[in-house]
Structure 1
Amino acid sequence: MLFKDKGLNDWNSTRVALLITQGLHISDLRIHFLNWFALYANTRLLWIPIPQNNDASWTTEDEQRFAKLKRRMRNLYWLDNLQKMISPQFIRFVKEQLFPDFQMGGEPIIVSLDQQGRIVHRNIMHMIHVWAYKYIEENTLGVQGIYNITALVKKELKKETSNINDVIPEINDMVSVLVGDIDSKIVAWAHNIEKRIQNLIEQSTPYNNEREKFLWQQEPNYSLDLVVGTWSRNVYLHYEIQKWFDTKNYIFLYGGNHITWIREFTSRVHQLGSKIQLKVELAYVGKNTMIRSVIEKEKMSHSALYDSYLVGWFWTRLQSMFLSRIYYLDSINRFDEECNDEILQGLKKLLAYEGKNTRIEGWALLSKGKKVVVCGHGVKILQVINEYEIWKENIATKGFDEVFKDHHEMLISASSLKSHSCCALEYSNTLNKISENEKCPECSYSMHKFVTFTCCHGHDIDLDEECYH
């Protein structure tokens, strides 16, 4: 599919977004996702690769690679003549209007436009990773709860006229007629409002700053649903794992790179389940491919992310959620160095445990149904399990989850900081709200700040993790 050089005006009443990339560097994983989004989200993605040369020139090799990529980006649109259409003026516009969202050396961005071609969101990439397109489109303005008004009116009228039933026997029929008349008017009014809202939705894009803000307002608490997604949002876990979240089961999500810790942890959890006579499920969601294969071979637990694609998008989604949450908190003036937002802190901990430069044996998140009970360093979680005899007497009065959490917090407060392995939290260089002082999500010490330049040659670097201990 080609975008002829007639301009965006020929796409009237069509949702349009600009995919802007650093040259022709785009990962296989992202190509797969963008093709899916462009196909199903009723949005035309116009791909604009920015040349890395200052003169915006394209080499013969660039042209050949572009021709190959076009065959793979089958659901996207692009410019007919890159050399002609991507002018120095456009590059200057990108640098002036879209910086720091887009930087050379950074990740691709998707700029959302309205019907008039105006920018309504400078980068929806994180937004569409966090929530599926259907969830974004359906979770919008609407008339809610208004149809229950007539039932309340009828109840109140009958209550207030109950003392005259004897003198006016037909009073109940009169109330029903009145309520019926009110009901028909309310229904007609509501339908009119809903029609007008639908017209507004069809004439605009749901991918804007206000919608992203609205979606976060519907996510008040940190929960397992938020971490793993649901079927109505973007979800990357196996169906069997997803079924657990609709129950009151205790669930351990865990990760790590040390097979010795993995073996001991899974064994102790199975033993704990037998002792407390409760069902405790285990699902590995770490990035390490070799660990995942050992878990499957030895049947230690479920390997919830059973291929590299699922692993990549699970952690990409969490990273996107982290960045999107920062933008949201900043928009409501709640983001600063002392920000203790529950969702943000929960995401920081998970991302720090599976960061590129993190060197911890393992980590685990315990939940009861969809409620996150505790998330912590593997050594401390394993210590809680091993010290079951110490805290088991309190289960009857406080419940397993609360006692487990209390003992974990006690161990954290009493532990030596030297016992913690290194954690690493990575921020995108395109984020203009990076804290100058970041507290470690594990020990609350100030973290060291490094500047790292990384080139993954068009691949997703997290999927190359193969360390094994």
Structure 2
Amino acid sequence: MWFHWLNDPQEMMRPQFTRFVKEELFKMRCGEELIIVSLDQRGRIAHSNVIHMMLTWTSDNIEQNTIQVKVVPHNISLIIQNELKQGIYGIEASSESWHVGPKIDSITSDLVRNIDSQINAWKMEVKGIIEEVTSQSTPYDSEKEKLLWQQQTAWTLHLLAPQINDWIHEEKYIFLYGGNNIKWIREFIFKVREVASKTQMNFELAYIGKNKMIRGIINKERMSYCALDDSFGVWWFWARLRSMFLSRIQYLEMTNHLVKEYNNDEILQGLKKLLSNENKNATIEGWVLLSKGSEVVVCGHGSKMLQAINDYEIWKENIDATKSFGQAFKDHHEILSKDKHSCCTLEYPISLSKIPENERCPECSRRMQKFLTFTCCHDPDVDYDSDE
């Protein structure tokens, strides 16, 4: 319902769009990322590249943020009638009630019927105004993207992985992990289960990495749950996170954040960590995100996270009435994180309007080196095996 074919596009296009095509779109070269320009019904540009908004937000999210009329209570006439009757004091106790009561009831009913018809007329008029406005607009516009992001104030698992909502609602400790090293994965799962048996806690583990071979081994040996069941699920999850990352940058740009201030944005930094850890060029054997329900506790490289779980006997004494398992784990992980870091890779599309000149590593905050990379456009970054 949001996409329309035009028999004669030239009649609907505004001069601004024609200029945009000549000055911007014709600059695109073969191999650059696809962009989708969103226009309103008057042919004006509503969003210069909406593809990241489309992948980040579902139609439900967008529809919930459109103009709409709330349903007027079905019993509003009865409420008004009762209020009017209560405004007439002493009628029931009066000796003349048998004479004036029916007349008052009659004119009250007439008034309520008139009010009811006026309310219905008001609803239809307002609905018509809204339909006229929405018919001249598009659900994919920059202001709506801005509104959707304003409702997200923290980097949470609700935003990242709706596939495990049941665990999130139950406020469980959740380990999401990825990587290409099956030896590390086996050791990590074994150690988490060992700590679970000592603490009598029920930890949930889910593999959300891209490696098809690893996912097959995990499923076959029933080592843990795989939140992404097939190739499409893997592609969609990581394509959505990448689009969320780029959409967040567009939002920060719309709200006049400077590029150097992006490093202070919790959501953007969290997305950077996940995307850099699961990049093909990453040198780490694995990575782990620990959350308590929806709240992300810590996200880090596999070696440090495995070391933190191995050191449980060292930091378990820190768990008390004021410090939870998650906080104690995070504190110990931060101590380990002062050591040397593995290499980290982060990719920006060349079509992005603003690319930082000085990017900071999401792990150690040092300045990252910049390289020019060519990626084969018919080789989607999904379900790769470690030996390819």
TM-score by length of 1: 0.67
Cα distance in 2, alignment partners of residues 351 and 314 from structure 1: 11
Matching residue of 1:404: 326
Matching residue of 1:132: 58
Matching residue of 1:107: 33
Matching residue of 1:355: 279
AA matched with 2:9: L
**Cα shift at 1:343:** 0.7
Q: Secondary structure at the match of 2:243?
A: helix
Give the aligned length: 361
Q: Please list the CA deviations of residues 318-359 of structure 1 after superposition, one character each: whole Å capped at 9, or x if unmatched.
A: 000000100100110124223211111110111111112111
Q: Secondary structure at the match of 2:148?
A: helix
Q: 2:158 aligns with which of 191, 216, 225?
A: 225
AA matched with 1:466: D
Q: Please list the CA deviations of residues 70-96 of structure 1 after superposition, one character each: whole Å capped at 9, or x if unmatched.
A: xxxxxxxxxxxxxxxxxxxx9996351
Cα distance in 2, alignment partners of residues 97 and 262 from structure 1: 46
Cα distance in 1, alignment partners of residues 287 and 120 from structure 2: 53
AA matched with 1:446: R
Q: Do 1:103 and 1:430's aligned partners in 2 also have CA atoms closer than 8 Å?
A: no
Q: Please list the CA deviations of residues 391-445 of structure 1 after superposition, one character each: whole Å capped at 9, or x if unmatched.
A: 3234341353xx4334434443454542x22110111111121111111111111
Cα distance in 2, alignment partners of residues 280 and 414 from structure 1: 22
Q: Secondary structure at the match of 1:254?
A: strand
**Cα shift at 1:266:** 1.0
Between Structure 1 and Structure 2, whose CA radius of gyration is higher? 2
Cα distance in 2, alignment partners of residues 251 and 182 from structure 1: 55
Cα distance in 2, alignment partners of residues 187 and 378 from structure 1: 62
Q: Do 2:156 and 2:296's aligned partners in 1 also have CA atoms closer than 8 Å?
A: yes
Q: Do 2:288 and 2:301's aligned partners in 1 also have CA atoms closer than 8 Å?
A: yes
Matching residue of 2:103: none
**Cα shift at 1:384:** 2.0
1:130–1:264 distance in 2 versus 1, CA, 3 Å: same
TM-score by length of 2: 0.79
The answer for unaligned runs of 5 or more in structure 1 is 17-89, 158-165, 171-176, 230-236
Q: Do 1:258 and 1:468's aligned partners in 2 also have CA atoms closer than 8 Å?
A: no
Q: Do 2:41 and 2:135's aligned partners in 1 also have CA atoms closer than 8 Å?
A: no
1:219–1:5 distance in 2 versus 1, CA, 3 Å: closer
Question: Are 1:428 and 2:369 matched, yes or no?
Answer: no
Cα distance in 2, alignment partners of residues 112 and 377 from structure 1: 39
Matching residue of 1:216: 149
Matching residue of 1:322: 245
AA matched with 1:458: H
1:115–1:9 distance in 2 versus 1, CA, 3 Å: farther
Q: Please list the CA deviations of residues 79-114 of structure 1 after superposition, one character each: whole Å capped at 9, or x if unmatched.
A: xxxxxxxxxxx99963513477x5432111111121
Question: Are 1:450 and 2:371 matched, yes or no?
Answer: yes
Cα distance in 1, alignment partners of residues 19 and 310 from structure 2: 60
Matching residue of 1:233: none
Matching residue of 1:275: 198
Q: Do 1:284 and 1:302's aligned partners in 2 also have CA atoms closer than 8 Å?
A: yes
Cα distance in 2, alignment partners of residues 398 and 213 from structure 1: 38
The answer for unaligned runs of 5 or more in structure 2 is 84-88, 94-108
1:284–1:183 distance in 2 versus 1, CA, 3 Å: farther
Q: Do 2:276 and 2:345's aligned partners in 1 also have CA atoms closer than 8 Å?
A: yes
Matching residue of 1:345: 269
1:360–1:197 distance in 2 versus 1, CA, 3 Å: same
AA matched with 1:440: C
Q: Secondary structure at the match of 1:110?
A: coil
Q: Secondary structure at the match of 1:105?
A: coil
AA matched with 2:279: G
1:278–1:410 distance in 2 versus 1, CA, 3 Å: closer
Cα distance in 1, alignment partners of residues 146 and 26 from structure 2: 21
Cα distance in 2, alignment partners of residues 107 and 450 from structure 1: 18
Percent sequence identity over aligned pairs: 52
Q: Secondary structure at the match of 2:314?
A: helix
**Cα shift at 1:252:** 1.1
Cα distance in 2, alignment partners of residues 366 and 195 from structure 1: 49
Q: Do 2:167 and 2:293's aligned partners in 1 also have CA atoms closer than 8 Å?
A: yes
Cα distance in 2, alignment partners of residues 413 and 377 from structure 1: 14
